[in-house]
Amino acid sequence: MDPNMFDRKRAAALARQVGVDFGAALAAALAYIGDRLGIFKAMAGGSAFTTLQLAQRTGLNERYLREWTATMAAAGYVDYSPRDATFRMSPEQAAVLVNEDTTYFTAGAFQYGVACYRQIPKLMEAFKNGGGVPFSDFRPEIVEAIERLFHVGYETWVAREWIPAVPDIHERLLAGGDAAEVGCGAGQCLIPVAAAFPNSRFFGYDVDRISVERARNKTVSAGLASRIVFEQVAAEHVALAERFDLVMAFNCIHDMAHPRAALRSIQRMLKPDGAFLWSEADVGERLEDNLNPVGRTLFGASTMHCMTVSLAQGGEGLGTSISAELAMNLAVEAGFASLERLSIKNPFHQIFLGRKQAQTHSLA
C-alpha cells in the first residue's frame, strides 16, 4: 500500500465508528436484559430511583443494576440526575421501551437481535457450506419478538389506513366478505383486523406450527374463534381458489422459500374482482440507494434471519430488499393484472395493491 494514498483521517473516523457500533451492540444486549427482566417496566411511570431502590423494587442485584443503569443512561434509554444520583424514565423513553400499546414501541428489536445472535454458529456454517438456518431454530423467542415488533403497527395501520385505501374492498368487508392473510404469524395483524370488520370471515395461513398455535389461542381469548380460522400451511399450498375478496401478505413474501409460487397461489385464491394488499420494507431500487442506517438494519436482518430461513428450505432467498420494481415484476409473473404502490405514508413499509383483473375505475 502506498503510504501517500492512505487517508489517516478516514481511517481514524472509521475506527471511531467501529467503537460506536461496538458500544451500541453491547448496549442492545443489556437493553434486552432490561426488557426481559422487567427493569425498564419497573422504572416506567416517572419516579426516580437510586440503584439500591431499583434493586429493592426488582429483586435484582444492586451491583449489576449500577452498571446496567450507567450503560442505559449513556445510551439515552434512561435519564440520570447527578444531583441525587437517581435514574428515571421519561414518558418518551417509556413509550419506546415499555408501552407495547404504542406505535413507538421498539424494544422487541432487542429480542429479535438476540434470537438471531444465538444462531451465529449455524449461520457461519451456512456461509461456508450453503443452505441456511431454519425458522424453527429461532423459536420460540423470534415468534414473540416479531409479534411485539409489529402488532400495534398492524393494528393501527391495516384496518384504519391500508384497507380503507381500497374503497371497494373496504365496503365489502364492512358488509361481510372473506379475507385471508398468508404468512400470518401469531395473528398480530389478522386478529385486530377481524375485530374491526365484525361481519366478515378471516383465514390465516402460516407454515410455522408454533405461530399458528399461538394465533389460535389468542383468537379464543379475543372471542373471535367463530370468525377466524388459522391453518398451518405454506402459502403456495393453500388449495382454495377464487374464494377471497382480499388476500394480505405483510412483510413476509421475502421470507418464503418459494415466493413466486406463493404469489401465484395468492392470485388463484382471489375472486375475479378481489384485491391483494402486500407490504415490504421501503427500500430503494439500487444497492447504493440503501447504503444508510436503515439499509444496514435491513441487510443485517436479511442475512441473519430472513434470507437464511428461506435458503434453509431450499428456497430462493430473496432477502428483505424487494423494491417496487421487483415487486411489480413478480406480480406480473404471478398473473396479476396490475400492481401499484399505494400513496400511503408509512415509516417502514411500502404498500402495494394487486388486482386479479383489470379495474374499470380508479381508486377514490
Q: Look at residues 269, 253, 244, 274 and name the one whose alpha carbon lies nearest to residue 329.
A: 253
Strand pairing category for 228-232 and 86-88: unpaired
Grid cell listed for 125: 456454517
CA dihedral 146, 151, 152, 155 (to 10 degrees): 150
Amino acid at 127: F
> Domains along the chain?
3-99 (1.10.10.10), 115-355 (3.40.50.150)
How far is the C-alpha of 110 from the C-alpha of 31, rounded, in Å?
Answer: 7
Rounded to an integer, what distance in angstroms lies between the CA atom of residue 77 and that of residue 97?
8
Do 96 and 103 form a contact (C-beta atoms < 8 A)?
no
Alpha helix segments (H runs only) across 44-107:
51-58, 62-75, 91-97
Query: How many residues in the chain?
Result: 364
Bridge partners, 178 (sequence order):
201
Each residue's pLDDT, cut to its tens digit, for the chain (364 residues) gives 676 789 999 999 999 999 999 999 999 999 999 999 999 999 999 999 999 999 999 999 999 999 999 999 999 999 999 999 999 999 999 999 999 999 999 999 999 999 999 999 999 999 999 999 999 999 999 999 999 999 898 988 999 999 999 999 999 999 999 999 999 999 999 999 999 999 999 999 999 999 999 999 999 999 999 999 999 999 999 999 999 999 999 999 999 999 999 999 999 999 999 999 999 999 999 999 999 999 999 999 999 999 999 999 999 999 998 999 999 999 999 999 999 999 998 888 999 999 998 876 544 4
Paired sense of beta strands 201-206 and 228-232, if any:
parallel
Q: What is the DSSP letter of 232?
A: E
Pick the closest to residue 300 from 31, 24, 32, 12 (CA basis): 24
Backbone phi, psi, residue 339, to 5°: -145, 125
- DSSP 8-state assignment for residue 101: T
